[in-house]
Amino acid sequence: MLLRLYVAAALLSLASPGCSQTGPGLPITPPATVQQQLTQPNTVLLDVRSPEEFAAGHLTGARNLDFRAADFAGQVARLDPNQTYVLYCASGNRSGKAAVLMQGQGFTKVVNAGGFETLKSSGLPVQ
């Protein structure tokens, strides 16, 4: 009986409409909160998509750090851990995983901004 309750609870939590992040990673922050964070001092905007995705269009002021690059962890290690980092990708999946990796390296101020198209449609400037 207890096992049935556990399974039912697990299935209900998977079906929850409030879940905006699939898979392991930092949850996605709403665009309005992201816009506010980007106005704060010592905030760095990181696009963790591929260089090709970045070249096709990115948020103004973003720096490209390819999450799938072999040396991604090494590139992160060279960043200033005292800064706040706002990360985005195509959907929020890579940026969520990158945020967790950064937290594992001691970064305490990391925001998963989610997907590029969502951020663009919320009014953030692109180039």
Catalytic residues: 89
63 and 44 Cβ atoms separated by less than 8 Å = yes
84 and 56 Cβ atoms separated by less than 8 Å = no
Closest CA to 42 of 75, 87, 81: 81
C-alpha span between 23 and 10 (Å, rounded): 15
CA atoms lying within 13 Å on the CB side of residue 7: 4
